[in-house]
Structure 1
């Protein structure tokens, strides 16, 4: 999406740097979405996760503690090649 169009829609382009295993796990999560949401993208899933997380210090602290205790090399991964960024994942293709 062009910059002007994003700005008109109030959208912001965000860059995230994280381990490849976390990125592959995001793909796995997108592929796990039920069929009625089959056009869910990585962007849409991340936005859903962010907007449904309560702004509660205790809850956020627990999330960070769980993350720090997670073995990031053992996350489940997608069986498909990495999809193009911003493209919806379509089941059955």
Structure 2
């Protein structure tokens, strides 16, 4: 009987150890899930911040390029207009050219 009592004590002790181990594992899993969740939130926030910064930089570069190209385009158009306005216009020769091309037979 004493031997059976010892065996029961040992089995109960082993069950308690297993219960404690299970409890420790559960706590460790909860802690690790919490840390992973916090890390994920932190890195997602950092990722979002960095991507928004890159997007803003690219947007600013794009807008600056568009402005520069537009200004250059307007400058070229203005130069061409000035060139055309500086040209003398010879309406008489132009009218003769049109008559020749449109009304004379080849």
TM category (shorter chain) comes to under 0.3
TM-score normalised per structure 2: 0.17
TM-score normalised per structure 1: 0.18
